[in-house]
Each structure stands twice: as C-alpha cells, then as structure tokens.
Amino acid sequence: MTEVAFHFNVANQSAYICRLLRKAFVNGAKVVVVGPKGLLDELNSVLWTFSPTDFLPHCASDDDPDMVQKSPIVLLSSVCTVPLVGDTLLNLSEIVPEGFERYARLIEVVTLDDDDRHKARGRWRRYAEMGISLVRHEAQGAAT
C-alpha cells in the first residue's frame, strides 16, 4: 500500500520542494512531480537556480522518452497522461491523483494559504476513506 505523507505549514513552497527533491535524489529515488503546468514551469526554473552547488537532473514528461526514462525527477501535468514508474509521487495538484497507487510513496506539500489548507484537508479525508495510513509532518522554521 502507498505511504502517504502530508507536509503542512510550508512557507516557501518552491524552496521546500527543492529540498525534498534533493533529499530523494541523494537517496536514489525516482520522483514524479504532478501539478498544474504553471506551478511545474516555476518549479523547473527554481530547480536550476535554488542552489549554486547542487544540480538536480529533471525533465518534463513530454521531453524525449529516453530522457524521461532516465531522469530521476520528472515533472508531469497529469498522472494519467503517461504511465510513469517511480518510487515517489509528489502531488502539487488540488485533487487526489488517479493512479497514485502505482507509487510506494506519495507526498503532499501544504502551504500556509487557507485555500490550499482547506483542499488538503479534503485530500486527507479522501485518503483516510480509502483506508490509507497517513503521516503528518510539520515544516520547520519560518523560512521553510
């Protein structure tokens, strides 16, 4: 069964996601990031610039299929569009992504925004209704 972890009270979403992705990359995980195109475009830019000493190889799901297969981080606008295999699914969308069960781990990042928190509570309830055990993490520090 997929392990679902919520990371709550994230003040700087892009920086927090980059740190999560760096940790996953260092540990050898393949991560598929699903979310709205605008947010993924922003994340793509931030992944190139968030650290002067780290490089996180990544690509978009519509890049060359060989690159998508080999990339440890794939940005995807819909889980259903491509049957990507990975260890971890990072959900930045407002809904429970279809097909999340294909992944060993799913991570939800929840900001301080009231609307984002409200939608996250709905996803939390949906996962709970499915019988999934949920893990709650609190983001640390005001600059997280």
Contact indicator for 18, 50 with CB cutoff of 8 Å: yes
Do the Cβ atoms of 97 and 79 come closer than 8 Å? yes
**pLDDT at 4 > cutoff 90:** yes
Q: Distance (Å, rounded) from C-alpha 92 to C-alpha 35?
A: 5
DSSP 43: H
The domain made up of 3-138 is a member of CATH 3.40.50.10110: yes
Q: Is 118 helix (H, G, I), strand (E, B) or coil?
A: helix
Residue 9 CA to residue 65 CA, distance in Å, equals 36
Q: What is the pLDDT of residue 54?
A: 81
Spatial contact of 69 and 25, defined as CB atoms under 8 Å apart? no
Range list of H helices, 59-113: 65-70
- What is the rounded (10 degree) CA torsion for 78, 131, 112, 98? 10
Mean pLDDT (the chain, rounded): 90
Structural domain boundaries in the chain = 3-138
Tens of pLDDT along 32-80? Answer: 999 999 999 999 999 988 888 888 999 998 899 899 999 999 999 876 5
